[in-house]
Structure 1
Amino acid sequence: MNWYEKLNDYFPVEEMKSKQHMEILLRDKPEMYHKDEGPYHVLMYVETKEFVFIDYLWVSSKSRGQGIGHQLIEKTKQKKKPIILEVEPVNYEDSDSQKRLRFYKREGFKHAVSIGYRRRSLATNEVNELEILYWSPTDESEASILNKMKKTYEEIHTYMDKEIYGESYESVDKVLTIDEDKTDNILESN
């Protein structure tokens, strides 16, 4: 099975980029979009001067519990930049979603409670809500994380979307929002 098939078998269709989209990103944006692949993992990520965005992280079920995911996250943390990723909300009928969130919590990721992410899938036409998780070597604000997510959305998620999918994704300001009341509550609790 090739790297794309591994990702496509694991991630929900509404979260997946097409293989063409990822290959174009790897070709057109080699300074930003990267693939780290091994026999038991696939990591697709964006790296800028300011942050790393994990687009997809897959670890073979045959090798889970051997620390591969932890090693990949540790290697990424060594870059000393904030790390951001999107996850589906916990679905208590899907044990994988619970395991994923527990894994990221153990790795020191925080939930960006003030950031909303609602995107209409071009594959299913369904609105897909995701949660933003982040790890930061400094005390990164959620407003700063939001700006980094917006950059990722505009430069990666929607790159050549009309040409690849035949239609465009919604604008970044419709998809990514910040709840100022929740931001205020976070500041007050610190």
Structure 2
Amino acid sequence: MNWYEKLNQYFPIVEMKSKEHMDTLLKEKGSVYYKDEGPYHVLMYAEFPNFTFVDYLFVAKESRGMGIGSKTLQMLKDKKKPIILEVEPVNYEDTDTEKRLRFYSREGFEHASSIGYNRRSIATGEENSMEILYWAPSNESEEEIFEGMKKMYEDIHTYKDEHFYGESYEPVEEVLTFKENDKKDVLKQFSNPINN
């Protein structure tokens, strides 16, 4: 199974870019967009001067608990700049969503609770809300994370979108919102040592 098939089997269709889109990012945005893969993981990420964005992180089920996810993230943490990523809200029918949040909480990520992220999937037409998590080595503010998300959305998520999907995603100002203390912290329940 190639790297794209692994991602495609793991991530819901509403979150997936087409293979064409990702191949083009790797080729045309090769100074920013990268793939790191091994027998048990696939990491797709964009590295900008002020932050790194994790587009996809897949760790094979059979290798969970071996520290592969932590080692992969450590490679990004060693760059000493904020790391931003999107995660699905907790869905209690899908235990992976809770495991994912617990993992990122253990890794020192915070929830950008003032950032709203909601976009329509071109593939399905469904609205897709995501939570924004970030790791801030120098106590970067949520405003700085918000600016990073806007740049990533315009440079990566919507890159040549009309060419690949026949239509464009909504503009960034309709997808990303910033409201002080707007939502509850999705990681709070995992930060209590008794729960871990």
TM-score by length of 1: 0.95
1:111-126 matches, cutoff 5 A? 111-126=111-126
CA–CA separation in structure 2 for the residues paired with 1:137 and 1:19: 32
Q: Does 1:176 align with 2:176?
A: yes
CA–CA separation in structure 1 for the residues paired with 2:42 and 2:12: 16
1:140-155 matches, cutoff 5 A? 140-155=140-155
What is the deviation of 1:70?
Answer: 0.5
Q: Does 1:161 align with 2:157?
A: no
CA–CA separation in structure 2 for the residues paired with 1:81 and 1:31: 17
Structure with higher helix content? 1
Residue of structure 1 in register with 2:187 after alignment: none
Residue of structure 2 in register with 1:187 after alignment: none
Q: Which deviations, in whole Å up to 9, do the C-alpha atoms of 1:122-142 show, x marking residues without a partner?
A: 000000000000001111111
Residue of structure 2 in register with 1:72 after alignment: 72
1:57-136 matches, cutoff 5 A? 57-136=57-136
CA–CA separation in structure 2 for the residues paired with 1:181 and 1:95: 27
Paired residue secondary structure (1:139): coil
Q: Which deviations, in whole Å up to 9, do the C-alpha atoms of 1:34-73 show, x marking residues without a partner?
A: 0001000000000011110000000000100000000011
Unpaired segments ≥5 residues, structure 1:
184-190
Q: Which deviations, in whole Å up to 9, do the C-alpha atoms of 1:58-101 show, x marking residues without a partner?
A: 00001000000000111110000000000000000100000000
Aligned partner letter, 1:159:
Y
Aligned partner letter, 1:14:
V
Residue of structure 1 in register with 2:186 after alignment: none
Q: Which deviations, in whole Å up to 9, do the C-alpha atoms of 1:163-184 show, x marking residues without a partner?
A: 110000000000000013549x
CA–CA separation in structure 2 for the residues paired with 1:3 and 1:165: 21
Paired residue secondary structure (1:180): coil
Residue of structure 2 in register with 1:188 after alignment: none
CA–CA separation in structure 2 for the residues paired with 1:117 and 1:136: 19
Aligned partner letter, 1:16:
M
TM-score by length of 2: 0.92
RMSD: 1.0
CA–CA separation in structure 2 for the residues paired with 1:138 and 1:174: 29
Does the CA contact (< 8 Å) of 2:82 and 2:136 recur in 1?
A: yes
Aligned partner letter, 2:100:
R
CA–CA separation in structure 1 for the residues paired with 2:178 and 2:49: 24
CA–CA separation in structure 1 for the residues paired with 2:3 and 2:104: 22
Structure 1 moving runs of 4+ over 6 Å: none
Aligned partner letter, 2:34:
H
